[in-house]
Amino acid sequence: MTGHHRAAKRPGGPRRVLSALMAVLGAVVLLGSVQGTFAFWSDEASMSTGSLTAGTLDVTLDGNLAGRANDGGTWTQTTFALDAMLPGESRATSFAVRNAGTSGLTYAVAGSATGALAPALRFSVYAGGAAANTGTAAAGNRAGSCAGAAVATDVTLAAASAVLTATRRTLASGASEQVCVIARLTLDAANGMQGATATATFAFNGRQVGI
């Protein structure tokens, strides 16, 4: 009795279900057709760079120590030496400091010296000038001199490197300048310095401009 009553309450039930299914199907079809027929117009543009290359710094000394592989290297100028030095005698040398890199740089000069004679040696550095040496060992009057502007005068060098330039010097890419150095045995060198020896090293520390 109850089941009959329910059946009477839902006359045409299957048709409603069918209608609902049809409606859903229609909606799906409708949605599908919308996606299938809508297109998006678009446009793209790309930009490629040229080659980006880092600049190079390359400090050379009379053409020596070129290239990145020689960064921090040392070139020994064997002619910058003097044997049988007497008090007051000196020796000068000059060489070209060049910026062989592609970027401008500034450089500072630092010096150090080792050996028992080092405390009695005085070093002077000049920029923009050449060296000249006169005198003879027999006369005990060998003297070195430099043209150019004094950068450091009568400096005693120790084993620890010390900066000699008060201000950094500038070299554009491809530019160079003469640097001259004098080593002099001071007049008041102690008697006990006889026969003593020393060597010196000068470091040219290049750094990019703008720093």
Partner 1 sequence: MPRLLLVAAGLVAGTLALLAPDGTHAAFTDDAGLGSGTFRAATLATPGSVTCTTVPGLVNQADIAWTTTSTNVPHRIEALSNGTWVPVALVPAGTTTVRINGGMMGSVLSLGLTYQARVVAHAGVSWTKASTPTFSLQTVSLLGLGLSVNCAALPA
**Binding flag, residue 101, partner 1 (CB under 8 A):** yes
CA dihedral of 185, 77, 126, 169, whole degrees rounded to 10: -140
- Cα separation, 90 vs 112, in Å, equals 18
- The residues, ordered by sequence, that sit 6+ positions from 106 with a Cβ below 8 Å of its Cβ are 168, 169, 170, 171, 206, 207, 209
109 touches 203 (CB < 8 A): yes
**Binding flag, residue 170, partner 1 (CB under 8 A):** no
**Binding flag, residue 126, partner 1 (CB under 8 A):** no
- Element spanning 17, H or E: helix 13-37
Q: Kindly indicate which of the ranges 28-36, 40-48, 67-75, 126-134 contains the residues binding partner 1, using the contact rule CB under 8 A.
A: 67-75
The only residue of 17, 28, 84, 132 in contact with partner 1, by rule CB under 8 A: 84
**Binding flag, residue 44, partner 1 (CB under 8 A):** no
Q: What's the token pair of residue 60?
A: 């050379």
Select 13 or 73, whichever has its Cβ closest to partner 1. Answer: 73
Q: What's the token pair of residue 100?
A: 């062989």
- Cα separation, 9 vs 93, in Å, equals 120
The only residue of 7, 71, 134, 135 in contact with partner 1, by rule CB under 8 A: 71
Select 39 or 74, whichever has its Cβ closest to partner 1. Answer: 74
Site string for partner 1, 181-210 (x = CB under 8 A): x-x-x-xxxxx-xxxxxxxxxxxxxxxx--
171 touches 205 (CB < 8 A): no
Q: What's the token pair of residue 155?
A: 């400096």
The only residue of 19, 33, 79, 170 in contact with partner 1, by rule CB under 8 A: 79
**Distance between start and end Cα atoms, the chain:** 101
- Cα separation, 3 vs 205, in Å, equals 104
The only residue of 30, 34, 139, 160 in contact with partner 1, by rule CB under 8 A: 139
**Binding flag, residue 171, partner 1 (CB under 8 A):** no
- In the complex, the smallest distance separating the C-beta of residue 159 from partner 1, rounded to whole angstroms, is 14
**Binding flag, residue 88, partner 1 (CB under 8 A):** yes
Residues of this chain that interact with partner 1 (CB under 8 A) are 54-61, 64-65, 68, 70-88, 91, 93, 95, 97, 101, 103, 105, 115, 117, 120-121, 137-140, 181, 183, 185, 187-191, 193-208, 211
